[in-house]
Amino acid sequence: MSHTSPPAAIVDPEKLAALKELAYGASHEINNPLANIAARAQTLLREEVDLERRRALEAIHAQAMRAHEMISDLMLFARPPELQRAPTDLAAVVRQVVEQLGEFCQQRGSRVQLELPSEPVKLDADAAQLAEAIRAALLNALESAGIEGCVTAELRSRPAISSDRRVIELAIADDGPGLDERSATHAFDPFFSGREAGRGLGFGLSKCWRIVTAHGGDVQLAPGEDGGAVATITLPVEAEKLP
């Protein structure tokens, strides 16, 4: 089974420095007008009773918020905030993220099947940032699976290959069309989408990779045994925290 890792371009220090400069410049120039647009649209929505105008205002607000989220992702990719580590139950984080995606799944007729240990899966981590990474990976899988698709998220612990420590793995598998050569090559590129133009564009797996590697982990993408694709998030667990 072949595995896809983030390409060298993502970790090139010079390219990251250029991206960081762009991110900070864009944030100052764009975020404030976007905030004003979103706030004004919300204000008008509270006063508007005409159905057609309400729909237009809702669309304006939604698109302004979407642009704001993309800029936030750009900032996170260029320079993630300092980790706020604390004892974290990763199983609980996964459950929470899946619950938050419930409406998205319902609209598409999709489902996420969880395979989680009955006991807590604990590590020292920034729960909020890991939730963002898991959300990005799940959304990527759901988009790949398509309408009425199925995604399986399996959480497990295993010994590390190169040390006496253990690692935690979250394998997110979809039943989509699988990885073609282009998708396998560019899956970790920001703004890449293997789907039709205009869908799924954003930081996706590169955002996930950025957060996970900040925790000392890794993300791999591979073809599924029965089709589809599997994104595997691996996070280290300190040896002294093991029984």
- Whether 94 and 170 map to the same domain: the answer is yes
- Whether 111 and 46 map to the same domain: the answer is no
Q: Is residue 2 part of a domain?
A: no
Q: Is residue 27 part of a domain?
A: yes
pLDDT at position 233: 97
Q: Is residue 1 part of a domain?
A: no
The domain of 49 spans 8-78
Residue 94 banded pLDDT, cuts 50, 70, 90: very high
- Whether 74 and 111 map to the same domain: the answer is no
Residue 22 banded pLDDT, cuts 50, 70, 90: confident
Give the model confidence (pLDDT) of 96-153 as tens digits. Answer: 999 999 999 999 999 999 999 999 999 999 999 999 999 999 998 999 899 999 999 9
- Whether 60 and 113 map to the same domain: the answer is no
CATH of the domain at 209: 3.30.565.10
Q: Which residue has the higher pLDDT, 194 or 37?
A: 37
Domain count along the chain: 2
Average pLDDT, integer, range 14-31: 72
Mean pLDDT of the residues in the chain: 83
- Whether 201 and 97 map to the same domain: the answer is yes
For the chain, the DSSP string reads: ---B---HHHH-HHHHHHHHHHHHHHHHHHHHHHHHHHHHHHHHHHH---HHHHHHHHHHHHHHHHHHHHHHHHHHHHSPPPP--EEEEHHHHHHHHHHHTHHHHHHHT-EEEEE--SS--EEEE-HHHHHHHHHHHHHHHHHHH-TT-EEEEEEEEEE-SSSSSEEEEEEEEE-SS---HHHHHHTTSTT--SSSTTSS-SSHHHHHHHHHHHTT-EEEEEE-BTBSEEEEEEEEE-GGG--
Lowest-confidence pick of 37-51, 65-79, 83-97:
65-79
Confidence check: pLDDT of 88 > 90: yes
- Domain stops at, among 78, 104, 136: 78
pLDDT at position 16: 62
Q: Is residue 208 part of a domain?
A: yes
